[in-house]
């Protein structure tokens, strides 16, 4: 697998500059690095409606150098799986000889909410596709509304801060665990801020003969409320505080890729973002304590799963 910068710098670019994504946008970083990991292979990309699609395909222009298909908000995975089936049939008949890679992109709303049914079906059927969720934890493209992956306590336009509510009152879905429950060959969590971790996981996913899924924490400078130059640091802080563990599950076996030493308190991650600014008030510190407790419990669970993978009962 290609893991050094010198070699990667010579790899063909699949996504051009000049698109309309925000300065400091994590989604652009995710898409570029995922496609670089595919090397010189031809990539067929399907994309759910969202920031990535809207800002890279403003008619009559496109930032995609390979084949790109935008269907609807809810069915990027279904579209990708249909293309994979058609490709296999054409290749069997000798009408196509090229080695083609199929990758679907979707934000958290188009993946875990609106697109969950199509994603689940594609994974269950066993198509050889990679689905990448650029998870910015809200419906950013339509005005920063809360999604099923918006974390507890975060402020959005539909989970406001006031006298009654202090941001989102529900915990987020654990999308990665939902995908693990599908018993597919490869599931991983990665993040913006560590190119090597993401690229290695994409390359591993593309080599697997079956479906794969990578959930990438993708900071959004607009919806999260931080300066655009801090995108990488915010992503790293999520891992250093264990708010977002970097791990992978290959054929049911867990592996934690990064174990922060020491593990930083969650407030180090929260205080950098405007969406959590209200939690810094004295009367809301109990919410931070709840978030810390939840993070610690999930980290303990994850370490136990890794131990059981190494030393099965």
Bridge-based pairing state of the strands 130-135 and 212-217: parallel
How many angstroms separate the Cα of 313 from the Cα of each of 230, 250, 307, 308? 44, 18, 10, 7
Return d(Cα 114, Cα 245) in angstroms, integer. 25
pLDDT of residue 2: 57
pLDDT of residue 10: 82
Instruction: State pLDDT tens for residues 113-139.
Output: 999 999 999 999 999 999 999 999 999
Instruction: State pLDDT tens for residues 79-108.
Output: 999 999 999 999 999 999 999 999 999 999
pLDDT of residue 109: 96
pLDDT of residue 313: 78
Domains and CATH numbers, the chain: 11-310 (3.40.50.970)
pLDDT of residue 280: 97
pTM of the entire structure? Answer: 0.97
How many angstroms separate the Cα of 311 from the Cα of each of 191, 253, 306? 28, 11, 9
Mean pLDDT value of segment 286-304: 98
Q: Is the dihedral of CA 22, 30, 229, 156 positive or negative?
A: positive
The pLDDT-based confidence of 11 (bands split at 50, 70, 90) is confident
Return d(Cα 131, Cα 214) in angstroms, integer. 6
The pLDDT-based confidence of 4 (bands split at 50, 70, 90) is confident
Instruction: State pLDDT tens for residues 138-186.
Output: 999 999 999 999 999 999 999 999 999 999 999 999 999 999 999 999 9
* Contacts for 20 with CB less than 8 Å, ≥ 6 apart: 54, 55, 56, 58
Q: Residue 192 pLDDT more than 70?
A: yes
Residue 160 gets which letter from DSSP? -
């Amino acid at each position: 697998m290609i893991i050094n910068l010198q070699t990667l710098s010579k790899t063909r670019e699949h996504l051009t500059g000049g698109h309309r994504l925000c300065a400091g946008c994590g989604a652009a970083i995710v898409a570029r690095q995922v496609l670089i990991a595919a090397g010189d292979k031809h990539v067929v990309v399907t994309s759910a409606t969202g920031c990535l699609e809207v800002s890279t395909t403003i008619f009559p222009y496109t930032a995609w150098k390979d084949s790109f298909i935008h269907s609807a908000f809810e069915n990027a995975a279904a579209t990708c799986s249909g293309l994979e089936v058609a490709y296999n049939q054409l290749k069997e008949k000798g009408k196509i000889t090229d080695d083609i890679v199929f990758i679907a992109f979707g934000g958290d709303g188009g993946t875990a909410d609106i697109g969950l049914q199509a994603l689940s079906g594609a994974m269950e059927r066993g198509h050889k596709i990679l689905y990448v969720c650029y998870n910015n934890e809200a419906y950013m493209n339509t005005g920063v509304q809360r999604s099923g992956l918006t974390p507890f306590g975060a402020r959005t336009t539909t989970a406001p801060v006031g006298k009654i509510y202090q941001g989102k009152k529900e915990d987020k879905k654990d999308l990665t665990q939902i995908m693990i429950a599908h018993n597919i060959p490869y599931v991983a969590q990665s993040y913006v801020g560590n190119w090597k971790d993401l690229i290695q996981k994409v390359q591993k996913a593309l080599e697997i003969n079956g479906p794969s899924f990578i959930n990438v924490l993708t900071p959004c400078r607009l919806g999260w409320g931080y300066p655009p130059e801090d995108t990488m640091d915010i992503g790293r802080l999520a891992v250093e505080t264990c708010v977002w563990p970097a791990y992978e599950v290959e054929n049911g076996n867990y592996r934690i890729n990064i174990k922060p030493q020491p593990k930083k308190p969650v407030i180090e991650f929260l205080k950098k973002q405007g969406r959590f600014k209200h939690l810094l008030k004295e009367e809301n510190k109990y919410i931070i304590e709840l978030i810390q407790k939840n993070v610690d419990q999930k980290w303990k669970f994850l370490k136990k799963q890794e131990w059981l993978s190494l030393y099965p009962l």
